Every structure is written in C-alpha cells, then in structure tokens.
Chain A
C-alpha cells in the first residue's frame, strides 16, 4: 500500500448526543409539529439520523406569535448591552461545542469534516462575536441615533452551510433587537436544532428565536404570514423571485441572497500555482454547492492549455469519500434531488458539445456522490456557462484581453462573486472596478469574514450580510 493511501482517520460520532426525534423550537421549548414528520438522513450513507417535526400554517402562526410577544415584552426593550451579552454567551457556547457541531453538520450535510471543523463552525462563532459587540453600538450603524428594530424577522436558510447561514441571519437580527422565526432547510435541520439547545443553555428569553422545521410549504407559510416585518432569505433565485412577488405591496422588508455564476479570471501573469489552488477552492469547496462558487473559469487563451493540464493533475489528488474522514476533500452531494440536477446539467454540457473530464476517484456504493468534473471548450452560450449547477462542475472558457474578460464575466443575469488572478496590481484594481459582482476576490477565493459585507448584484439578490452593512437590513431607516 502506498503512502498516499492514507489509513482511515474518521472523526468520531460518539461526541454526538442526538435524540431520535426533534420537535419545533417555539417560545423556548420543543413541541410537536402538526405537519407530517420527516426523516433527515446522512447523504453520505443514506442512513436516517433523526425524525424531524414539520410545521404547518398553525405552527407558523404560533412561532410568529411567540416572536411577536418576545419582541414586545422583552427583546426590543432590553438594553443593547444585555442583548450583546446573550450573543457573547452564544458565541462561547458554540466554541465550546464546536467539534460536536462540526460532526453534526458533516453528518447531516455531507460536507467534509475538514471544512465544517476549519471553516463553517469557526465562522459561526466569529459571526456571533462580531454582532454581539454591535448590540450596544447601534448609534454608530450610520442610521442616526437609536435606530429602531423592525420587529419579527422571518429567516429562511439553505442547506449548503446550514449553521453558518443560521449565524449570518440570527446574529445581526438579535443584535439589532429583532426577534426571529428561522426555518432551516428540509435536508439539513440538525445543527439548527442543536443550536436551539444552545439557546436554552444560554438562557435566551423564550420566543426571541424560534426554529421551525419543514419543507417548502412551511417556508411559504412563513413568508406569507402577515405579522412578519422582515424576510431574510438565502437560496435559489427562483424562490427569491417568488418571495419578492409575495411581499409586493406589503410593508415587509426583504433581503435576498440568491444564486450565482461566479467568474474566476486567470491572467497569464497570475501566480499560477496559487491560482490553481484558488480555482480548486473556488469550485470544489463544499462540492461546489456554494452560491458564490467560481463555477466559470475564464482563463487567458495563451495559458489555457497549461492551466487545464495543471488543474487536471491537481484534481487527481483530491480525495472523495467519507465526509467524516479528516482527509476527505470532496464529500457527498447533499441530496438525491441535487445530485440529479448536477447530473442533468453535466449531461447537457456534454450534449451541447463541451468536452467533459472527470477526476479519477472511486465512488462509494451508497450515498450521493459526484466526482470533480471539468468542462473545456465551453462557450458563453453553453447552458453550463449560464445556469447555476451548484455542484463540483467547472466550466472553462477563454478570453484574450482584460476588457473581454470583464465583458464575459459580466455576461450573466447573476452578480454575486468573481475572482481575479494576476500579479499586476493596477490591472487587478481596474478589473475589480469593472466586474458587476458583490464580492471580488483577488488572488484568493471563497473567503468570508463577519466584518466583510457579502451580497449580490442583479439577480443574485439584494441587501448585504456581514459588517456594518449587515445591520441596516434589520433597522428602521436602512436601505431595503
């Protein structure tokens, strides 16, 4: 056996103390849901993890009512300093239970433990720490003295970064004095429910955060609830569009974090080895199930062959398999449904004439898997260059000049992220200026920080999360 066949190094699941079933977390306690219970499974094995309650319209009503009561009676009148202290408590509890949360996240989502351990969960704690400090400093948010909260925030989050997206939503909402009804994604409710236990340990007043599980209809009921003052959604552009329509004419404020088709632009003067790593990180991080993924590689034509060769060589070293193994680079696709989408679009890419290359790796017998895949010969009109695949599939296109790179990068209804690789500072800054994207990473990719605003142009949504900007989405007088 060669050295590179690293012996299994699985993270132990014995750290988890899961219950066989979880109810809805409403008004500080777990209670049964009135909808049909469902089972959350591990996408790596398809084995069941726990049974999960489903909230129907009545349950949504209960949750919103609890949030309203908490807003009126405790949270909106509490001193900012004290709100901040609760958030600091939560941040500390997350750090204390970090390993457990990482294992649970990987178990339920299928992402590699290396990522949940080193990226997701540390950022979750960082997000609560960051916004905790804002709670008593809102006078400096840029909206005048003593800006007022909106009220009850309905928050709907996706399955790709379950606990991280929860943190992005809940931390600023609570810091600004809003109360929350949060719905995690149907396929990844586990860490949100563990988070509910953390809220109990933090002794957060009942009703300030309510977590209701369920499928799309639960989310739809929440969005349509008349007593909701704010809707924050992260997910697909299709659903975001429906939310924007549903809210038309209502006094409800909305922020939307939607899809993307990020361009990763590699110039011929790029730091090449780091660019290759950045390309890999850009599209294979979290199996490419990232709204800001660098799914379109725009490479200068004169280095196209070299970059593709280096990339293929690098991709052969990626380790696909048990997400709980500490050496796994590529975990499982989150659901059968998502896998079907990735397969369908990849097949379409091939049918439309792009050349498909798949990294050689052994696919486990059970679970949802898709090997890292690269398409060359992709044109701007190819479906795989336009539609968000949300999987480990990279489309490679070429360009000749900086102006052409900018034009091709912007040639999409999306506008969330982009990358630039070059050693020439003036070119980087000028290209960054020309890109219509909310986040531009130069000589790096997929970096996140609670102090750094994140959000899209065009059909990638509106509003910013993170930083001071993230506060304004939850305060009166802030931009929509």
Chain B
C-alpha cells in the first residue's frame, strides 16, 4: 500500500467522525492547533501532588496486585535469545514461585522476530489478559528509531501479527512530527493499523509509541496523543525505553487527560501505557493514583492501562512479600530473569 501524498490524508474512522470525510493535512493541523495548551509548571505540580498520595495497608496490597496484572513484561535487547524469551515467559506466568496466588502479568513484550518464541513458550496461557491469560506484544515499525521506509515498517508489523502477536507497539516518526508533517505521521499510523488486520477479520491491538522524550514539549505530547487517537490507536504509549527521559508522571498525566477528553467527547476508551524508567512499586503506585484520579479507576484494567517495564515486577514482588510475611525481603528471594 502507498501513502497518499498531497494534502488529502488516509481515511481513518475516528477522524472522519470528528472532522468529516475529506480529511486534509491542513484540517488536521488546524484541529491540533486548537487543542488547549499545556502549562508545564502546573502540569508538573499536579503530578507532584498526586505523587504525595499515601497508599497504605489494604490499599497498598490491592495496588501491588493491580500493578502486576498491568505489566507488559518486556525484554528488548539485541541479545534476546529463545532461552531468554522462555525465561521471561516463565516469569510472566508465575511471577513469584513462593506465592502461587500472585497474579500474572498482562503481556510479554518482545521484538517481532521473537514473537514465535513467546507464543510457543506461553502455550495454553497465551490469550486475553482479561480472561487471565497472557498476551504477546511486539514492538514494530523499525523500533525504536522508526527510521525505515514505510514498506519495511508495514512488513515488520505484518510479520509480527502473522507470528501470533496480539498487540503491536509501533513508533511514530518523530522526525516527521517535529518537522510539522503531521499528515505523514497520521497516514503511517493508519497504514500500520491496516497491517494489524488478520485474515479472519480480527486485528492486533495497536499501541502507538510517541517517544515523548524526543517530542520534548508537553504541547507536542498533547497533539501527538490526539493525532494518534484520531488515526486509530487503541493505546497511546509514552516511550520506547531507549530514550531518556522515558515515561514521567507529568507526561503520563497529560496523556491521561487526552484520553479523558476523548472519552468525554466520543464515549470511547483509549488505553495509556507509560513505559521505561518505572522501576519501583512506589513509582508505579503513583501512576495508579494518577490514572484513578484522572480518568477513573475503571481504567485500571489491562485493556486500558499497562506498564511497560522489566525491573518493576521484582520490586513489586519484594513489597508483596513484605506484606505477606511482615518482614522486609531481599533480591535473592525473587528470581533474576
């Protein structure tokens, strides 16, 4: 498929509903420019205040289990091997072998060429996290830089879906976005979404990574979030984890505000996934608070919120052990994967 150049953009159902049939880059730009601006100081202060919530005792226990169930347990290394993937999947299925009541994570997140390994390792546990199963998410579209031709990005996506990926974590072309070529970014998302289609008419869920650390400004994050949703994203995701800063609480709060506004406008619920840099339970609880107090606690389910993380899980397990035993645990009491 080819991306249409010129002013006219690819057809996307949401954009059509909101902006009318003949969507143009000019129209899109005008729409994004009309979004309310962000005052970064106020945004960061709000995030900081949310971060002071004190989640104790029963609420903390509940929060820790919720966090585990929302994790996309991730490995995105050049050195990823089938063995490494099997180990990751084992951890995803049984995070804490000393406590079998520990919930499973929502998904494992791997490179496209490791999807088959993950699917094989999951076996009968592969499936919808809302049904207690574990999804396979694949990063795609020349992750993490996104610097490849559209043809390659689409092939990357289609192959991962064919290999059994349930979710595609694509990256947007930040270069195009920063250069003001919103139409190109839009069309690519629409195209990748098409590539997520399976022969049986179902489709892999599409998470759109904005790489907020490269977009730099909060105004850009709001516009990119809105653009991604218009183009058909099921989830908007902060970061690849390969660029600093990755997820921050203010950026996630801002994306949650976009999702809240979208819901208010259309009734549709879009997911949010902060990824990268969330390593402690304490941090993750701040995100839960931010979700619950911004869009409501209904969002605290795998279809609407995920943590993209690798190290976070073990810290949550340590905290969980502390609650169940009353003693502080240590790193030798959780598995190193």
Binding site for B on A (CB under 8 A): 1-9, 114, 118, 269-275, 277-278, 317, 326-327, 423, 443-444
B14 to chain A, nearest CB (A): 21
Other A-B pairs beyond A6-B56, A7-B59, 14, CB < 8 Å: A1-B62, A2-B297, A3-B59, A3-B297, A3-B300, A6-B54, A7-B55, A269-B37, A271-B39, A273-B36, A274-B42, A317-B293, A326-B52, A326-B54
- The proximity string for B residues 274-316 relative to A, scoring 1 for CB distances below 8 Å and 0 otherwise, is 0000000000000010001100010010000000000000000
B158 to chain A, nearest CB (A): 38
A-B contact count (CB 8 A): 72
Which of B36, B54, B62 touches A9 (beta carbons < 8 Å)? Answer: B54
- The proximity string for B residues 24-38 relative to A, scoring 1 for CB distances below 8 Å and 0 otherwise, is 000000000000111
A369–B157 Cα distance when bound, in Å, is: 57
> Which of B36, B38, B39, B59 lies at the interface centre, i.e. has the most chain A CB atoms within 10 A of its CB?
B39
Q: Is B179 an interface residue (CB 8 A)?
A: no
Tell me whether A274 and B43 are in contact (CB under 8 A).
yes
| Given contact pairs A274-B39, A274-B46, A7 touches B56 in the complex (Cβ within 8 A) | yes
Which of A9, A275, A277 touches B56 (beta carbons < 8 Å)? Answer: A9
| Given contact pairs A273-B257, A274-B46, A6 touches B39 in the complex (Cβ within 8 A) | no
Tell me whether A6 and B38 are in contact (CB under 8 A).
no
Tell me whether A327 and B54 are in contact (CB under 8 A).
yes
Q: Which B49-81 residues sit within 8 Å CB-CB of chain A?
A: 52-60, 62-63, 66
B54 to chain A, nearest CB (A): 4
Q: Is B41 an interface residue (CB 8 A)?
A: yes
B290 to chain A, nearest CB (A): 11
Tell me whether B58 and A7 are in contact (CB under 8 A).
yes
Name the 4 nearest CB pairs between A and B, nearest first: A274-B42, A9-B54, A326-B54, A271-B39
Which of B42, B45, B58, B297 touches A4 (beta carbons < 8 Å)? Answer: B297
| Given contact pairs A271-B36, A326-B54, A444 touches B297 in the complex (Cβ within 8 A) | no
What are the residues of chain A within 8 A of B42 when measuring CB–CB? 271, 273-275, 277-278, 443-444
Binding site for A on B (CB under 8 A): 36-39, 41-43, 45-46, 52-60, 62-63, 66, 254, 257, 288, 292-293, 297, 300
Closest to B298 in A: A2
Closest to B66 in A: A3
A271–B46 Cα distance when bound, in Å, is: 13
A69–B280 Cα distance when bound, in Å, is: 58
Tell me whether B62 and A3 are in contact (CB under 8 A).
yes
Tell me whether B288 and A3 are in contact (CB under 8 A).
yes
Tell me whether A273 and B59 are in contact (CB under 8 A).
no
What are the residues of chain B within 8 A of A3 when measuring CB–CB? 59, 62-63, 66, 288, 292, 297, 300
A28–B175 Cα distance when bound, in Å, is: 69
What are the residues of chain A within 8 A of B43 when measuring CB–CB? 273-274
Tell me whether B53 and A272 are in contact (CB under 8 A).
no
Tell me whether A6 and B41 are in contact (CB under 8 A).
no
Closest to B38 in A: A271
Tell me whether A277 and B45 are in contact (CB under 8 A).
yes
What are the residues of chain A within 8 A of B288 when measuring CB–CB? 3
A4–B293 Cα distance when bound, in Å, is: 8
Between A and B, 28 residue pairs with Cβ closer than 8 Å are A1-B62, A3-B62, A3-B63, A3-B297, A3-B300, A4-B292, A4-B293, A5-B59, A6-B53, A6-B59, A7-B55, A7-B56, A7-B58, A7-B60, A9-B56, A118-B52, A269-B37, A270-B36, A273-B42, A273-B254, A274-B38, A274-B39, A274-B42, A278-B42, A326-B53, A423-B37, A444-B39, A444-B41
What are the residues of chain A within 8 A of B41 when measuring CB–CB? 274, 443-444
A118–B297 Cα distance when bound, in Å, is: 26
What are the residues of chain B within 8 A of A444 when measuring CB–CB? 39, 41-42
What are the residues of chain B within 8 A of A423 when measuring CB–CB? 37, 39
A265–B45 Cα distance when bound, in Å, is: 20
Tell me whether B52 and A271 are in contact (CB under 8 A).
no
Which of A5, A8, A272, A317 touches B36 (beta carbons < 8 Å)? Answer: A272
What are the residues of chain B within 8 A of A271 when measuring CB–CB? 36-39, 42
A3–B60 Cα distance when bound, in Å, is: 9
A2–B291 Cα distance when bound, in Å, is: 13
A254 to chain B, nearest CB (A): 36
A66–B73 Cα distance when bound, in Å, is: 70
Tell me whether B38 and A114 are in contact (CB under 8 A).
no
Tell me whether B52 and A9 are in contact (CB under 8 A).
no
What are the residues of chain B within 8 A of A270 when measuring CB–CB? 36
What are the residues of chain A within 8 A of B62 when measuring CB–CB? 1, 3
Tell me whether A273 and B297 are in contact (CB under 8 A).
no
Closest to A7 in B: B59
| Given contact pairs A3-B300, A273-B38, A327 touches B53 in the complex (Cβ within 8 A) | yes
What are the residues of chain B within 8 A of A8 when measuring CB–CB? 56
A458–B202 Cα distance when bound, in Å, is: 69
A9–B289 Cα distance when bound, in Å, is: 15
What are the residues of chain B within 8 A of A4 when measuring CB–CB? 292-293, 297
B256 to chain A, nearest CB (A): 10
Tell me whether A9 and B55 are in contact (CB under 8 A).
yes
A118–B39 Cα distance when bound, in Å, is: 22
A423–B222 Cα distance when bound, in Å, is: 15
B64 to chain A, nearest CB (A): 11
Tell me whether B297 and A6 are in contact (CB under 8 A).
no
A306 to chain B, nearest CB (A): 10
A255 to chain B, nearest CB (A): 31
A77–B115 Cα distance when bound, in Å, is: 81
A2–B66 Cα distance when bound, in Å, is: 11
